[in-house]
Copies of this chain bind each other. A is one copy, B any other.
Amino acid sequence: MNGAESVVATLVEAGVEVCFANPGTSELHLVAALDRVPGMRCVLCLFEGGVTGAADGYARMTGKPAATLLHLGPGLMNAGANLHNARRAHSPVLNLVGEHATYHLQYDAPLTSDIAAVAGAVSAHIATASAAETVSKDAAEALAAAQTGQGRVSTLIIPADVAWGEGGVVASPVAAPARRTVSDELVKEAAAALGRGQAMILVGNGALMKEPLIKAAAVAQATSARLASIGRNPRLQRGVGTPVVERLSNPASQQIKQLGEIRNLILVGEEPPVAFFAHPDRPSVTTHPDCNIIRLADVHDDISECLDRLAAATGADIAAVPLQQLVRPDIPTGPITPDTVAMAVGALMPENCIVADESITVGRSFYRQTAGAPAHDWLHLPGGAIGIGIPLATGAAVACPDRKVINLQADGSGMYTLQALWTQVRENLNVLTVIWSNRSYKILRDELSNVGLPDPGPTALGMLDLSNPPLDWVSLARGMGADGRRVSDMDGFVEAFRDGLARNTPYLIEVEI
């Protein structure tokens, strides 16, 4: 057994089931090992940003890591932006990065680069394997690192001679450390703060899964606190049967207003809210200067157990939490606007669907219009690096083959990683992609006045304009084997959306908006 085979066998034995891959020469023994050691599904992406965005989507929907297979430093850099997103989503991801043979590095061959430096910018754990005999242990440890807490990005660099070298042995699984338990003192402090009023429980990450969310809602109800989340969580279980959660707006100015009266902020799986970007003469922190912030449970803590104790301390009644009823908007007709498409999506989205949302500016009405839809999962963009939506939907569909995945996708960000559409076709994934074709980096146009540039010149406007030439997403999809159509009014959108939902195969709708 060579080193590569021992790695694959170790990971399969530890429960890793999927590998998203864009391999090169230095990874060929790992690829070959996937044939020799059964049990790992290998999904090919045509660009590494697709690999890691898919691994993120898979991790969010399963709670477990996929492996990725990346080619040297350049492959890792191509994968980097979506690893940044996975890091911010606290998704467990295990990167296997091929490296030159150890004895070849000294010659500085063309593809040589400082892989560890790049890995350091996106990974919580980094190791470089040194021998075929021990690489499986390295892999088991890297996997445990990925599974620590809510999840982490973990990167194992595997030199080619370690992969092809004989002497590999299957390593025993390494247990990830248990989640930290929140102290009783902190729970008491949070309960006391909630008792003082003007309070908000800000839930994030794992606290947005239905069960902990109900507990948090019960606490909020018992203490008359507001229950809120920020607008860019990795996964939110919502719709019918879930508690209603207020959403903090992304623009800092609005967030400051929403948080203006709050003097006691209890963080559960979330960090203190801050502005996404600094803007001249505006504060970075969006809470009131007099707000008392209690970091009750970190994202990696045992959130659910912590909420049990907080519920007990506040006399919360989980059974009494009002849950969302089915309330659908009417289906609008006429022109396409962010509001009308949001209504149509809210009216039509099916039960148990997964929404991969990289709508950016078009998406501002979605939260409200889909709140009363049948139960669903909503995946957002915690890391802010655009170009995740199409890969994220791809990974979610690999994770959940029995569920419909709806990718609500801005056009500018979609262009970053459009290659993942090909993987959707190749794997025959159940993804409906909806492209909001506004033909601009509209969020940047909105940002111009925020940063003190209300009167941009033609060069600046030109840099934010995608209309010349117009992107034709139906042709782009066809180029990768996917069917699709373009719509320019609401009747067309509704018909196309219904059609896309009825299929179980990749389909794309380009919405002129």
Q: Which residues of A contact B (CB under 8 A)?
A: 21, 23-26, 28-29, 31-32, 34-36, 42, 44, 46-47, 49, 73-75, 77-78, 80-81, 84-85, 88, 100-101, 103-104, 107-111, 113-115, 117-118, 120-122, 160-161, 164, 232, 271-272, 274-278, 280, 284-285, 382-385, 387, 412, 415-416, 418-419, 422, 425-426, 443-444, 447-448, 450-453, 456-460, 462-463, 466, 468-481
Count of chain copies: 2
- Of the A-B pairs whose beta carbons lie under 8 Å apart in the complex, a sample of 29, sorted by A's number, is A23-B463, A26-B277, A28-B453, A28-B460, A29-B451, A29-B453, A34-B463, A35-B456, A42-B459, A42-B463, A73-B84, A75-B81, A77-B78, A77-B81, A80-B80, A100-B277, A109-B276, A111-B277, A113-B122, A117-B121, A118-B121, A161-B278, A422-B471, A425-B469, A471-B480, A473-B479, A475-B475, A478-B479, A479-B479
Least distance between A194 CB and chain B CB atoms (Å): 25
Contacts of A422 in B (CB 8 A): 415, 469, 471
Assess whether A107 is in contact with B426, with CB atoms less than 8 Å apart: no
Q: Please give me the residue from chain B that is nearest to A457 by CB atom.
A: B35
Least distance between A159 CB and chain B CB atoms (Å): 9
Contacts of A113 in B (CB 8 A): 84, 121-122
Contacts of A275 in B (CB 8 A): 104, 107, 109
Least distance between A204 CB and chain B CB atoms (Å): 12
Residue in B31, B272, B285, B447 whose CB lies within 8 Å of A28: B447
Assess whether A419 is in contact with B426, with CB atoms less than 8 Å apart: no
Cα A422 to Cα B467 in complex, Å, equals 11
Cα A103 to Cα B108 in complex, Å, equals 39
Assess whether B32 is in contact with A383, with CB atoms less than 8 Å apart: no
Assess whether B121 is in contact with A280, with CB atoms less than 8 Å apart: no
Assess whether A384 is in contact with B111, with CB atoms less than 8 Å apart: yes
Assess whether B80 is in contact with A118, with CB atoms less than 8 Å apart: yes
Contacts of A453 in B (CB 8 A): 28-29, 32
By Cβ-Cβ distance, the 5 closest A-B pairs, closest first, are A469-B481, A35-B457, A77-B80, A476-B479, A74-B385
Assess whether A385 is in contact with B466, with CB atoms less than 8 Å apart: no
Assess whether A103 is in contact with B425, with CB atoms less than 8 Å apart: no
Supposing A35-B456, A416-B78, A469-B422 touch, asked if A160 and B480 sit within 8 A by C-beta, the answer is: no
Residue in B412, B462, B481 whose CB lies within 8 Å of A472: B481
Contacts of A475 in B (CB 8 A): 475-476, 478-479
Contacts of A23 in B (CB 8 A): 444, 463
Least distance between A446 CB and chain B CB atoms (Å): 10
Cα A110 to Cα B381 in complex, Å, equals 9
Residue in B42, B47, B285 whose CB lies within 8 Å of A462: B42
Q: Please give me the residue from chain B that is nearest to A448 by CB atom.
A: B28
Q: Please give me the residue from chain B that is nearest to A411 by CB atom.
A: B46
Assess whether B107 is in contact with A114, with CB atoms less than 8 Å apart: no
Assess whether A121 is in contact with B35, with CB atoms less than 8 Å apart: no
Residue in B26, B36, B74, B285 whose CB lies within 8 Å of A457: B36
